[in-house]
Structures are given as structure tokens and as C-alpha cells.
Amino acid sequence: MAGGILVYALHDDEGNFNKNSLGAISEAARLAGELGSEAGVVVVGEVADDACAGLGAYGAKRVFHAKSAPEGLAQPVVDVMASVIRDEGFSYALFGGGLLGFEIGAGLTARLNAGVTMEVTAVKVTDGKLIAERPVLQDSAIVDVGYVGEPGIIIGRLNAFDVNESAGGQAEVVDVDVELSEWSTKARMRTRGEQRGADVNIEDAEILVGGGRGLGEKDNFKLAEELAGAMGGAVAATRAVVDAGWYPYAAQIGQTGKTVAPKLYLAVGISGAIQHKVGMQSSENIVAINKDQNAPIFEFCDLGIVGDLHKILPKLTEAIAAKRSG
């Protein structure tokens, strides 16, 4: 469909859709409304038809369900999305970001010889076409990116798009049977490990307390956990502490870990190395506690507290708990 926008919806083994994907569907529906077009969704793997149809609540008109394609790997999804785009004539593919979204978006771009914009923070409609807004020069300027051909691939920053659960009703579920390319089936998913060792999916948390080497030792992570608990948030970590075995890899933020964009990122005992920064710089508010006033994190946080975390954290936790209970 001309002007149509196709989104991929990632789900877990229980069939719950990822918040970031729901944001992308909501955004696609909003934009499709302005274009007078349709937001379509691709779902792969075992998910109940009801759950697929339920994506209509976020504005999806049709859900293309490839049951036999495996979930969690990029190449099979590229096969399915490329096939749906070709058969149905979608003009754009929109991703909410996250590691898998980046990989699928990049694969789709190569497969369809398309144009791609990454790290997109907003999308608008101009003269009947989508324009992606992308921050550049360390977020000091925004450029508008349009597409000269179709399809145009748009990969958002993680959680760039808000979830809107009242955009529509039930979606039509269309079963698709796509023949996967030979190379797409070479890798097999043995286990899904994104939440290994962590109770909460940090990519979905609105409040994160990031703990670094400044915590001093593994047991001191309980200070970060107590603070996160008091605020109703989750705990994240730097690579330094993950490598030291203080915290699970599932909680690692950064270049070789996860990308997060919570409403509040509270960095405790974290120096702010570039490899860590790239994973959390999109957080709405960054607060840092560090005893070294020259720590790089003070160059990009919104609020910096110079001091010893061992003294500050217990008092902060107590104060927040008291405020919330009273």
C-alpha cells in the first residue's frame, strides 16, 4: 500500500510484545493517519492470533504473522519483512531501536537496497512523505532526512516513540508463509537470554540506578538495589563491574551492552566512559554521584553530585522511602 509503514513487533516466549515495538507501532499508526495510509506489523514465531489482533489497539491495521519463522534472530525477520514489503508495497519500515531492531533494519536496508536513517528521535510528514529527524554532532544539532526512493527505513533510538494504546480496535491477522533464505536458517536460537539473571528488563524500566566500579565491591550493589527499590526502578551496570563478576551481563549498559532511555538514569560510582555513555545518553534525565569532580560523567549529566556514594546512597534511599510512604 502506497505510503504504508511496516513495523516489526518483537515478543518474548510468553507472547508479550516488547514496549519499544509497541511504541513503534503507535508512531507508525500516527504517521500513517497523516499520510492517509496503513500501519502494518510483522510478527514471527508462536503467538496466539488474539494477541496479534490485539496490536490493533496500538493502531495496526494488518498483522502479517509468519508462524514458522523463528523469533529473536535478525535474518529470518529480514526475509519476512522484505517479502511483505515487496508483496504489499509498503513504502517505509519503522523500528523502535534496540539491538535486534538495528540489526534487522540494517539487514533490510541491504536486502532491498533501501535508504536508512538510524538514531532517529522523531518523524514527521512533509509533502506526503516521511522525514526522519536525527541528532548529529553529539546531539548539538538535528538534521532532517528524507528518502529519494522506496522503501525508506527508519530506525529510532530506543524508546523514542511513545506507546499509545487507544489508537484503534482489532487488527486483521494475515498468515504469511515465507520461504527463508538458506543463510537465514544457519543460526538457531537455543535459548532466549535477554533477561538472564535480572528480574526486570532494564530496557523497559523508567528509572535506572547504574552502578559502577566506585561501588567498591560486589556486595555494595545492594546499595544500588535498595535505592532502585525505593524509587520503583531497576539496576544497571557498567562493563567494568560486569567483567569483575559483580553484576550480570543482562544489566550492562553501553557499546557492548544494552541501550537504554529511561526517564531517570542515576549513575553511582560511574566515570562516564564513552563506551558507557553511548548506551545511556538518551536518558531523559541523568543524575551522577561521583567523588571525583573531574569525572567525565559530569560533562553530560543534568545534575551532578560530588561526594562519596557510600555516605549519600543510604541517606537518599531513606529519604525517598520516607517521602513515598508518607
Ligand X SMILES: Cc1cc2nc3c(=O)[nH]c(=O)nc-3n(C[C@H](O)[C@H](O)[C@H](O)COP(=O)(O)OP(=O)(O)OC[C@H]3O[C@@H](n4cnc5c(N)ncnc54)[C@H](O)[C@@H]3O)c2cc1C
Distance (Å, whole) CA 248 – CA 242: 6
What are the φ/ψ torsions at residue 6 (nearest 5 degrees)?
-105, 135
CB closer to ligand X out of 207 and 298: 298
**Residue 217: alpha-carbon gap to chain centroid:** 30
Distance (Å, whole) CA 7 – CA 226: 38
Cβ within 8 Å of residue 192, ≥6 positions away: 12, 13, 72
Instruction: Write out the three cell numbers for 175.
Output: 498468515
| 3-class DSSP assignment, residue 215 | helix
Q: How far is the CB of 238 from ligand X (least distance, A)?
A: 3
Which DSSP helix (H) or strand (E) runs through 133? Answer: strand 129-136
- DSSP state at residue 259: -
Q: How far is the CB of 277 from ligand X (least distance, A)?
A: 9
CB closer to ligand X out of 25 and 297: 297
CB atoms within 10 A of CB 314: 13
Closest CA to 1 of 30, 34, 27, 35: 35
Q: How far is the CB of 193 from ligand X (least distance, A)?
A: 16
Q: How far is the CB of 289 from ligand X (least distance, A)?
A: 6
CB closer to ligand X out of 58 and 247: 247
Q: How far is the CB of 57 from ligand X (least distance, A)?
A: 35
Q: How far is the CB of 22 from ligand X (least distance, A)?
A: 26
Q: How far is the CB of 310 from ligand X (least distance, A)?
A: 5
Binding-site ranges for ligand X (CB under 6 A): 212-214, 238-241, 252-257, 269-271, 273, 275-276, 279, 289-292, 295, 308-310
Q: How far is the CB of 276 from ligand X (least distance, A)?
A: 3
CB closer to ligand X out of 200 and 273: 273
Distance (Å, whole) CA 313 – CA 326: 20
Contact present, 41 and 7 (Cβ < 8 Å): yes
CB closer to ligand X out of 49 and 292: 292
CB closer to ligand X out of 186 and 315: 315
Q: What angle do CA 153, 91, 259 make, to 5 degrees?
A: 25
Residue 195: is it exposed, middle or buried by C-beta count within 10 angstroms (0-12/13-18/19+)? middle
Place of cell 562516564: 272
CB closer to ligand X out of 82 and 208: 208
CB closer to ligand X out of 29 and 309: 309
Which DSSP helix (H) or strand (E) runs through 86? Answer: helix 74-88
